[in-house]
Structure 1
Amino acid sequence: MTISTAASTSTLPTPRAAESSRRALRADARRRDEGQSLLHYLAVSVSASILVLLLGVAVAVVGLPVVVGGSAMTVLTQSMEPGLPPGTLVVIRPTPVDEIRVGDVITYQISSGEAAVVSHRVVSKTYADGELTFVTKGDNNDTADPAPVRPVQVRGTLWYSLPLLGWVNSLLNGANRTIVLAVVAGGLFLYAAVSVGGAVRDRRKKTDAAAAAAEHAEARGGSRRGSR
């Protein structure tokens, strides 16, 4: 009587199959890293854009006027439409009265020594009792202002204007201005700290992943050599 037996055998993966598997794993890991990197880039870009916008507003409303000794004011009426509608931020800077020309927009006190001011365009220059005066008119008005403007009333000439930011300027008065500037500065420092920390973490993760992959590959190579 003849008895035949079949011995069960286990087949180790060939080197080519093992290499293909490693390539597939690396490709999958690379795709995950690229997806995470894209999301991180988008988040950083959005947050950076917001902070840059806030910083730009702070510079336009507070920084530049302070540098030139000027003032930021908000247009409240329609007299200078369409160029300067209500809500426009107008920044004025001191200008010698003899340098003010016809066509310039000046900001002047309605009554000398009082806080109320108006910004209108100079349409002509005259002399009253030997003193230079300015005839002004709102671009949207039909007639010139009733009284000529004396040099002592002039606060300055228009330097630049920004639409809608006048409402922001109205909110940034007194204590609010200090609070907002502190928030913007704190946000910039926080953003810098988070960005640096995120970059360090990403670099550390990549280093750890590369080291783990190298150890895994070395271990698989050693096991194959030991099984031969």
Structure 2
Amino acid sequence: MRASLASCWRVPDSSRREAGTQAGLCRAAAMTVQTRAELRKEREKTGLFWWSGQLASWFALFVVLALIAVMIVIPKLGGATAYTVLTGSMRPEFPPGSLIVVRPADTEEIRIGDVVTYQLKSGEPEVVTHRIAAVSSSLSGEIQFTLRGDANNTDDDPVRPEQIRGKLWYSMPLLGFINSAISGQQRTWLTWAAAGGLLAYSMIMFAGAWRENQRKERT
């Protein structure tokens, strides 16, 4: 037996029994329509497009947070500095655009084969990242490092310990282009924006789960 919602607005017959029967059918029809709507919403929330959207949003959030962590957060926490490779002197391992992160190292820790970043002139900002080719001592007993780019045929000028900025910690291809485009102030903004975005997204997900739980309890 079927009853439509439209029939709920009809004036009942003179018989009280028939009116009660019709009212019951109307309530059943309303519940059926409501149940169908809820089932449709459930299917929408568990369908392929819904899951695809959820996975895409989580993946995008993960990528953004990972980039910020690799370029900003981890170097800062580790007392390291991020640089961008601008030339091809360290090809093929570090092509132009690579992000390299170096952190301070004692002179005794530097060995032949290590990749280090050093100042061309002590105290000046211009730096070069090459590989240690030899370690020697001057006539005065001072340690000197000989470096060479992997793609170069000649050694660099001798480097003194005070010129060394640090030893390679880790590197990432292509991220150097992004690193070069971000200023110091922008790094701070990005860190706070990422933290705020993650908090807001977590609150939205929690609120959605809470509303869904409340709806299920009412039904």
Whether TM-score is above 0.5 comes out as: yes
The Cα of 1:44 is off from its aligned counterpart by: 2.7
SS in 1 for 2:112: coil
> How far apart in 2 are the matches of 1:30 and 1:207?
16
Partner of 1:92: 102
The Cα of 1:31 is off from its aligned counterpart by: 6.1
> How far apart in 2 are the matches of 1:96 and 1:167?
29
Please tell me whether residue 155 in structure 1 is matched to residue 165 in structure 2. yes
1:111 alignment partner AA: K
Deviations 1:87-129 (A, max 9, x none): 1110001111111100000100011111100000001111112
Please tell me whether residue 195 in structure 1 is matched to residue 205 in structure 2. yes
SS in 2 for 1:77: coil
* TM-score, normalization by structure 2: 0.77
Partner of 2:152: 141
1:60 alignment partner AA: V
Please tell me whether residue 34 in structure 1 is matched to residue 49 in structure 2. no
SS in 1 for 2:93: coil
Larger radius of gyration: 1
* TM-score, normalization by structure 1: 0.75
Partner of 2:182: 172
- Cα contact 1:123–1:135 (8 A) shared by 2: yes
- Work out which of the residue numbers 52, 63, 71 in structure 2 matches 1:61: 71
SS in 2 for 1:125: strand
Once the two structures are overlaid, the 10-residue window that deviates more, 107-116 or 42-51, is 42-51
Identity of aligned residues (%): 40
> How far apart in 1 are the matches of 2:38 and 2:199?
33
Stretches of structure 2 that go unaligned for 5 or more consecutive residues are 1-20, 22-30
SS in 2 for 1:188: helix
- Work out which of the residue numbers 205, 215, 218 in structure 2 matches 1:205: 215
- Cα contact 1:172–1:180 (8 A) shared by 2: no
Stretches of structure 1 that go unaligned for 5 or more consecutive residues are 1-11, 13-21, 211-228
Partner of 2:131: 121
Deviations 1:135-190 (A, max 9, x none): 10101112111x11110100110010011111221223221112211221121011
The Cα of 1:26 is off from its aligned counterpart by: 6.7
Aligned length: 190
